[in-house]
């Protein structure tokens, strides 16, 4: 037995040695200089972009400057907002400091295009730089600042040097333009949310208080519970600047809203909520489900005066989550559904179009609402949200 074990160990050792020999003898892949440069440039770009998407300030400029200097290949590099130096990277940083005035050293006379200054002069003793290439940072139609690459006095620039500085400035400008668009989208979404809150208050508050008043004498305990639901829902709906919540939070307050509506309609309104537990952590715009539910109640029950059934169904679609709000009301034509999505109707469509716009602003054009309906077949409004989207977090 010991002999057999020794033979097996010997064979295993020999196989390991042979495998290592083959590995060491295998030819190694050596990247070409072009491929190495491309890899370095891609690393620089991907390291720089996330910081500039926040906009151009001292923090983002300080973080981005080393990567941009490596991309440009200059001994030193400065970023300004056109008024002050935001960041300086490289030799000379001891006398070119963030917060210093940008003009005249770091702002070219022709601020609308790339400018080469072959006799750049700095008054600081021992400053090693004597040649500058200044490129404007165009954020859309706005000049957001300058990118300045600095070289030694004896450096003879070639066209490629100027081109790479211009390309780097265009890269920065494109990210700053996107940052401004993101900020505009956030402001628009906030304005739409304020408009939606203003729309909710008169209709919902009147009906909720009427339902509570009807229960005060008949069932005081029920009236107290409804009043608590009303207080908690209105606090949720009108609470400050809270753009995103989890689906679980949104549905929790939808249930409070529905208890108030059931107090109004009694047996005329039946409700089914079936949402897969694994989709509850998904992040949605605040007040994105409630307006869909409110419209389903208004058009599925209130409008035609009969009984109505409402369903809220949520399912896992892999990378996405689908939530469907369906009523068995009279339905509508395809033309009417399109009008609802663009806010062209005054009978509740504004709320749906508001949610549609905020969904697209948060997650992209592929994540707008969809209305499945036909006359006599009820109405289903479908909301799809990604399980993860950078920059979208519940607060």
**For 354-394, what is each residue's pLDDT tens digit?**
889 888 888 888 899 999 999 988 999 999 999 887 767 77
Instruction: Give per-residue burial for 117-147: e unless 16+ CB within 10 Å, then b.
Output: beebebeeeebebbbbbbbbbbbeeeebbbb
Choice between 111 and 14, residue whose per-residue pLDDT is larger: 111
CATH 3.30.450.40 at 34-180, yes or no: yes
pTM listed for this prediction: 0.55
pLDDT at 19: 45
Q: What is the mean pLDDT of residues 53-62?
A: 86
Choice between 99 and 16, residue whose per-residue pLDDT is larger: 99
Query: Pairing mode, if any, of strands 244-246 and 308-316?
Result: unpaired
Task: Please provide the average confidence, as pLDDT, over all residues in the chain.
Answer: 81
**pLDDT confidence band for 199 (50 / 70 / 90):** low
Torsion sign, CA atoms 281, 286, 290, 292: negative
- With tokens 């500085």, the residue in question is 165
Whether the CB-CB separation of 356 and 383 falls below 8 Å is answered with: no
**pLDDT confidence band for 23 (50 / 70 / 90):** very low
pLDDT at 26: 47
**pLDDT confidence band for 165 (50 / 70 / 90):** very high
Choice between 215 and 253, residue whose per-residue pLDDT is larger: 253
177/253 Cα distance (integer angstroms): 37
Percent over 70 (pLDDT), the chain: 77
Percent over 90 (pLDDT), the chain: 30
| Domain ranges for the chain | 34-180, 216-386
171/147 Cα distance (integer angstroms): 11
CATH 3.30.565.10 at 216-386, yes or no: yes
**pLDDT confidence band for 6 (50 / 70 / 90):** very low
**Residues 176-195: pLDDT tens digits?**
887 776 666 666 666 666 65
Q: What is the mean pLDDT of residues 156-173?
A: 89
């Amino acid at each position: 037995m010991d002999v057999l074990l020794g033979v097996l160990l010997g064979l295993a050792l020999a196989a390991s040695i042979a495998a290592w020999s083959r590995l060491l003898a295998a030819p190694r892949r050596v990247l070409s200089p072009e491929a190495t440069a491309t890899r370095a440039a891609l690393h620089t770009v991907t390291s720089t972009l996330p910081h500039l998407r926040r906009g151009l300030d001292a923090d983002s400029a300080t973080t981005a400057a080393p990567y941009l200097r490596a991309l440009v290949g200059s001994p030193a590099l400065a970023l300004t907002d056109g008024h002050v130096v935001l960041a300086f990277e490289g030799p000379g940083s001891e006398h070119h400091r963030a917060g210093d005035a940008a003009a005249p050293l770091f702002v070219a006379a022709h601020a609308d295009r790339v400018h080469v200054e072959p006799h750049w002069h700095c008054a600081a003793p021992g400053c090693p730089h004597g040649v500058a290439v200044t490129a404007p940072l165009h954020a859309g139609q706005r000049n957001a600042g300058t990118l300045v690459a600095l070289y030694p006095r004896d450096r003879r620039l070639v066209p490629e040097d100027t081109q790479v500085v211009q390309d780097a400035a265009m890269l920065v400008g494109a990210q700053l333009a996107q940052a401004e668009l993101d900020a505009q989208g956030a402001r628009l979404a906030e304005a739409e949310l304020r408009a939606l809150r203003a729309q909710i208050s008169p209709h919902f508050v009147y009906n909720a208080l009427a339902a509570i008043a009807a229960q005060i004498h008949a069932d005081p305990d029920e009236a107290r519970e409804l009043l608590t639901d009303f207080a908690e829902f209105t606090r949720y709906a009108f609470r400050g600047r809270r753009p995103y919540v989890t689906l679980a939070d949104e549905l929790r307050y939808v249930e409070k809203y529905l208890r108030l509506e059931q107090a109004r309609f009694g047996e005329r309104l039946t409700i089914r909520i079936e949402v897969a537990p694994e989709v509850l952590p998904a992040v949605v715009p605040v007040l994105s489900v409630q307006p869909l539910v409110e419209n389903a109640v208004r058009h599925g029950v209130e409008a035609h005066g009969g009984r109505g059934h409402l369903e809220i169904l949520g399912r896992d679609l892999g990378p996405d989550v689908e939530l469907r709000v369906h009523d068995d009301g009279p339905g509508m034509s395809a033309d009417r559904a399109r009008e609802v999505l663009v806010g062209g109707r005054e009978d509740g469509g504004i709320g749906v179009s508001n949610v549609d716009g905020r969904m697209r602003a948060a997650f992209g054009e592929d994540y707008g609402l969809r209305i499945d309906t036909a006359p006599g077949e009820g109405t289903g409004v479908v909301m799809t949200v990604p399980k993860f989207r950078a920059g979208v977090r519940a607060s």
